[in-house]
Chains A and B, each alone.
Chain A
């Protein structure tokens, strides 16, 4: 029992540390990649190639004055960033970074837990994150924040639906909600091939769920200044940012797990953990690439797109998946 607890604690620290480290460097990677796509060098002052930039950013945010607006409802204002961050961290627990492996003679898995309702857990926990955003927008007592909060709640609800439906196809094929079982089911063919439409729908909905371009309406800079976190500063602001980037990692991890075959290798035999990370980072790169290329939707267009295009498409995907499975002998 003690051994189990120790292993779990060590794993917790390692995975949490690894995710936080990856996250900080994803912020740098985003700025660098955006920079190169926009014919400018990106951050390059702090450390070689700007490698210490995330650390400098962190220190800066720590030391900034923490401002709470006079009219804000203080308790909610303080809790909101935590409410955004906690679900983001919680979802990491079931992201399977790698299979069982032997470390120091012990069999250890590279994920915190293989819950048999893994996917359901992710959906239920990640949708809690929207509370943080809505409450932040509400508690700031600023009109821009309020509009940002309203936009995000509407957006998250509409896109969560298509996201959930898109995943049903994968569930049908893998016959399990467990993340590990889903990966094991992709031993032969990755689900991106039979579930291509589901994949496209999922990735669009995921980008919307993450409030990233072209769906970055809740924080649409040219419209709402900064949207829901306009009034936030210092570490509270940093917590929203942390939540946002951790969510990027988890979503990319989920895409990798559900559609890109998880840790299964592709021609080049590398350790499973490495393959998982490569795929995960490829998805992150894709999101940054989209950000550099696409303009922003308008609010009503976003809703129309979500309800009239994505949702019917995801339902059709559910209807056609069994047919597909019958034809190609999955059933």
Chain B
């Protein structure tokens, strides 16, 4: 009998469902994936190196372009890390606004995930319904910051400008429509579908131990039944004062990941509601003239403010020497920034721990021995953002 050889299939970097420019080298026996080797780096822009040549303020827009589906979360992680280095207090209004907006961002990010996951397993319509709701969220972001995808709204010491007029109404409108649409348009069409169930249940299981060993975080880890959420374990921005639950799964399959993310959207909405109710007035930027830009009105009228403005814009500020790490829970898991400062106006070294990069490592473990169709569902449920993986 003739010798049989496995087929090598190069999936990506241009492939409709590798979520960007992920390249997978698959060794296939028929349709079964025997070996899977991810190849990354197609979106490498050297952001960490760029960070060493930019002042602390100038780096914020670059964080938008990492996890571009959750740019506010990235803004937040970076700003909080620098704030930790500087040891400055953020005013309460900014704190609540940050929580509110990042939770909305989490919903927006999960909506994209849900839509593309639907596309991956062939349910086309769901994508458009998800986009409809995401549009409402993007409108809110646009009203706040002027941009929709790379929002760049948080600043070191607070937020860029005060929340816009009509913000509360916009958010309340969203809160009013979202739960019902989630139930009718997502769950009844998608989750209750028999084919969706057989495509997701028992697929891509990863054990609790493996998940922890690989360093997974976010919904992926929680779907395995590990109730680990930085918002609870190391609360920041006052998350300890909000009432919400950590969604966890049991088996750790694709369906559990779906359920965890759906529950997270509901919990995020709960947090948004609480944040909106308690949103205090007052300053939105810390009162630290060496770090935070003064208000435009002051720049026009006060000599001192003009000088501070000039200094911050032209050469930035100089934090104390030292190193600092801070992490937050983004929609994808633990995003941590590590900054080494030598006392100059630019970081000596800036490094971050992107959740997608670490999560991607579990792909081979989940997909080997499965069919191509399963692999697609697994990538979909992994929700990698290549901007973040390649940096």
- A interface vs B, CB < 8 Å? 34, 37-40, 143-144, 147, 151, 213-214, 216-217, 220-225, 291-301
Contacts and interface: CB of A to CB of B under 8 A. Distances in A.
Contacts, number: 82
Interface stretch (B46-54, B104-112, B192-200, B216-224): B192-200
Contacts of B125: 37-38, 292-293
B374 A298 contact: yes
Contact of B123 (A144, A224, A225, A295): A295
A39 B115 CA distance: 14
Nearest to B196: A295
Contacts of B195: 214, 294-297
A305 to B, nearest CB: 9
A143 B7 contact: yes
B121 A222 contact: yes
Given A147-B372, A214-B195, A221-B16, A299 B31 contact: yes
A291 B125 CA distance: 9
B16 A222 contact: yes
Contacts of B132: 39
Contacts of A34: 124
A30 to B, nearest CB: 12
Majority secondary structure, B binding face? helix
B129 A295 contact: no
A223 B372 contact: yes
Given A224-B372, A297-B198, A299-B372, 16 more contacts: A38-B128, A39-B128, A39-B132, A143-B10, A222-B16, A222-B17, A222-B376, A291-B124, A294-B193, A295-B121, A295-B199, A296-B121, A297-B199, A298-B198, A299-B31, A301-B199
A269 B238 CA distance: 72
B313 interface: no
B43 interface: no
B189 A223 contact: no
A231 to B, nearest CB: 14
Contacts of A301: 198-199
Contacts of B320: none
Contacts of B307: none
Contacts of A222: 16-17, 119-122, 376
9 contacts: A38-B129, A143-B10, A147-B9, A222-B16, A222-B119, A222-B376, A297-B195, A298-B198, A299-B371
